[in-house]
Structure 1
Amino acid sequence: MGRVILFTALEGTGGNSLANRNFINPLGERLFSLVDIKDVIKGNIQKHSIVLPVMTQRNYTGIPGLLLILFQSFLPLAIFTILMRLHRITIIARGTLSGFLLSIFPWSNYKLVLPGIYSLEALVYGENNSYVNRIIEKRAIKNAKRVFVLGNNIKRYLKDEYGVDSEVVYIPAEPYPVNKKFKKFTPVHLGTIPDEKTLHSIIAVFKHIKKVIKESKPLILSQFLREDFKRELERTGIEVISMNYEELKNFLPSCHVGLVMEGDNPLSAYLITTKFIDYISAGLPVIVHKGMDELCRIVKEYNLGVCVAPVSIGNDILMEVKRLIQEEMRIRSISRRLFSKERFRDKILSNLT
């Protein structure tokens, strides 16, 4: 047996999932996953993985939900962690819930890759178990052999809140083909919209772009969008397109600029979003909400776009964006350098003993 196995819990692991794109595919190792039965039915699972299906209730972060998951998975996880220990195999876990489940078994030997701050994400998405979520987060982090985070602000957060040192490793990027740009100026927002503030920030920026650049066509590319958000976007003349990842790979490089507007919630200062990685991998400059401190630092350091207050975006900012569109190859090269799969893999898999 090899020295490494990956572990995920309660998220889909199929080819288009974030777990697959940002964790499984770059590391290229074997996977054991605890998967909601709904994802199993949908086929949202990695084909060549070992899958433990479980039934969950909708809000599985509360105590009743966790007890239900533990009841179903305790024995299989105990056997799994014992076998890994006996064979001296390091478990690399993605996410706080994965780390928490492994932490229950004191003999488990796991590294933890955190895609975000679990306790703050719960607040953003309206969950009311902040005390429980912090306990889960603390236990997962403190019992890990090593912890990897996606930015310096998260690194400081873990040190301040839990006294834990961590290592920064950026999300790995997928390469995008080089395509001809659309004739109409096409600003785009990729992925889900978490809250109304983000929605209104997107609309404000798109409205200003349409006012200044008459021949423009703002787009939302998302497979999962609240129906009320979709209706409001369509009322303002913003088209919403559902697109899977394979379709996106050929479509996104033809757009002109990407928006990242999650700047008005408790997570804002810590986020380096997947959509940002996708934009610059496709050679697009970005317009980023100025409240996203960590992301704005990268954008300014490497001249990848502009950071703005959505309600006060000026014509000069759009002129700067149009200039950066001509620097597609430079933006792509920065993406390959900062967010390479090789760098991600080498850092995560180093020092396994």
Structure 2
Amino acid sequence: MPHPETVKEPRMIAISSGKGGVGKSTVTANIAVALADAGLSVGVVDADIYGPSIPRMLGIAADKPAMSPDKKVIPAVAHGVKVISMAMLTDDDAPAILRGPMVTKYLQMFVRQVEWGALDVLLLDLPPGTGDIQLTLAQAFPLSGAVVVSTPQDVSLKIARRGLRMMEQVNVPILGVIENMSGFTCPSCGTVTHIFHQGGGEAIAQELKVDFLGKVPLDPNVVDCGDEGQPLVRAAPDSPAANAYRSIAASLAGTDGNALGLATPFAWTLADDTGKPASSGHGTDGPSDRIASLDHDGSALILRWMDGSEQRLADRDLRLACQCAQCRDEMSGARLLDAGNVPLDLRLTRVWSVGNYALGMAFSDGHDTGIYTFKSLRGLVGVEVEDV
């Protein structure tokens, strides 16, 4: 297995939407090809496990992928873009009937067990909504940022706002908003008709203080190109929609979108001090909800935040503060953990990153299911112990 320092980690950008039918996968496919045409090495994970469509849009045959000598899946390549999708693993009309844990397994495989090679950008075409797949990706992988696609209609924009808020809550930088299906230009007279209203995507971006990446106009050729496996940026490169895709791709190529703070992922085993993350190297003028460095003095976790403040949280206090379903009632928030059963000499044994927004922790009593968000850690001054 190669050493971590020799592996080039691509920028992982999630393309999301609050609801279906807004053309998110079409946007993803065309942006991917536009990025490849600009000279970047690009991969696409079709993370819509239940409704994969990227292979069809890029003209990829439904052949089962080959395996590399080290047992990794070799992705398909089309229009200069590497692709992995559930559609390549199942028959064309076979439904993916999977429970949550199996979906998580496939997502992990699509990212970590595919022979991507050296990529500059890995686009993740997410299913609509803010459910299990979105949360799994945010927790398991260091997303560099997210793009939200919406149509100009009020219903779509309202749901898109929820998607933006969800990404913010898990510390995924919002790279911007794309307004798709933004007006139809009559091919005969040139009159622009705003079928789904206009300006909503830009207004949402301004309201939430994120970038507005651009408008993609309606184009009848999009349907034909998608069905024929020819992305619009190749089939009709001079069309207004193709120009919009290239402009958006240029904006994404020029933004790093990296979350500030500790580099992720990491898994630090305290006993032998392996996997400890290096300090972020940032000064004391960063955001207050990002961790700059981690340390442990034998009985407490020491958190240094990017605004220059420092916390010392005792191992046992962290254990008592666990909010997992084993330790707290999910509805009432009442503590289920009996503090009297937590040993006084309990120790923290392992710390690992959960996406860009939380830490996972394991303790000497075997407990390891808690997720400690940066926000909850920042507010943790001391744990009141009742009925000891």
Shorter-normalised TM range: 0.3 to 0.5
User: What TM-score results when the alignment is normalised by the length of structure 1?
Assistant: 0.36
TM-score w.r.t. structure 2 length? 0.33
Flag the structure with higher strand content.
Answer: 2
Greater helix content = 1
